[in-house]
């Protein structure tokens, strides 16, 4: 990219307590955030359980009645092709899969396209560019995990920085237009470095800069835009 794009800010809803999730989502909806990030886990692909389709549907209803934000779904499940239609019907605009979760991940990306949704690939810290580059022409969003997936609040793994650089260079070399996103360890320092030095546009936001802060969500979002 010759000029920096506006940051794509994606609050991770996994950080919210189920006790007052609706109220918190309504507060988020009124801010300058961009995409709700919804983690769905099956306890097999990662050793944890995340959110459900019911919560995805709730977020869709809230933002449809409010500020019409996008919703993404991060599928940390085995064989996600089984659920693509259901996730699409629940209101996800972007559906991310891990290539390791499918025997033929390119077919699952095509399923996502057939549902009229944007495609997303998630690269774990150990996933190489070489294993996914043939799918990048049909990928709208590439998200790199800078932590091992499955739990919130982990610290950024510095060695993953090179992967962002490689994917940005490959995007330029091949004339591709996928968005480059970070999931995990999004501190002020990490966001500023990846945005200004590695052409990373998108950031999944967790407790480091958005949740459990002294300031309200709107103030935090506005501050993150200045990093």
Q: Which residues carry out catalysis?
A: 39, 183
Angle at 49 between CA 48 and CA 55, to 5 degrees: 150
Q: To 5 degrees, how large is the angle CA 157–CA 3–CA 143?
A: 35
What is the rounded distance in angstroms from the CA atom of residue 134 to the CA atom of residue 168?
A: 15
Question: Are 39 and 51 spatial neighbours (Cβ–Cβ below 8 Å)?
Answer: yes
Return all residues near 136 (Cβ < 8 A) that are at least 6 apart.
Answer: 121, 142, 170, 171, 174, 176, 178
Ordered DSSP codes for 69-130: -EEEEEEESSSGGGGHHHHHHHT-SEEEE-GGG-SSHHHHHHHHHHTT-EEEEEE-TT--GG
| Residue 95 Ramachandran class (φ > 0 left, ψ -120 to 50 alpha, else beta) | beta
> Contact, 130 vs 107, CB < 8 A?
no
> 3-class SS at 140?
coil
3-state secondary structure of 198: coil
């Amino acid at each position: 990219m010759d000029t920096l794009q506006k940051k794509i800010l994606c609050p991770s809803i996994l950080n919210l307590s189920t006790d007052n999730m609706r109220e918190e989502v309504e507060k988020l909806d009124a801010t300058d955030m961009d995409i709700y990030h919804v983690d769905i886990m099956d306890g097999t692909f990662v050793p944890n359980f995340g959110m459900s389709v019911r919560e995805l549907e709730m977020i869709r209803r809230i933002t449809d009645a409010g500020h019409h934000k996008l919703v993404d779904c991060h599928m940390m499940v085995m064989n996600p092709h089984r659920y693509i239609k259901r996730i699409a019907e629940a209101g996800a605009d972007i559906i991310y899969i891990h290539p390791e979760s499918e025997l033929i991940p390119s077919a699952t990306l095509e399923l996502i396209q057939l549902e009229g949704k944007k495609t997303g690939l998630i690269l774990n810290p150990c996933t190489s560019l070489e294993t996914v580059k043939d799918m990048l022409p049909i990928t709208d969003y590439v998200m790199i995990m800078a932590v091992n997936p499955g739990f919130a609040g982990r610290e950024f793994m510095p060695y993953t920085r090179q992967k962002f650089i490689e994917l940005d260079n490959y995007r330029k070399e091949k004339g591709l237009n996928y968005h480059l996103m970070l999931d995990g360890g999004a501190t002020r320092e990490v966001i500023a470095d990846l945005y200004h030095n590695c052409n990373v546009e998108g950031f999944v936001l967790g407790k480091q800069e958005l949740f459990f802060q002294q300031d309200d969500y709107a103030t935090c979002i506005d501050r993150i835009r200045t990093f």
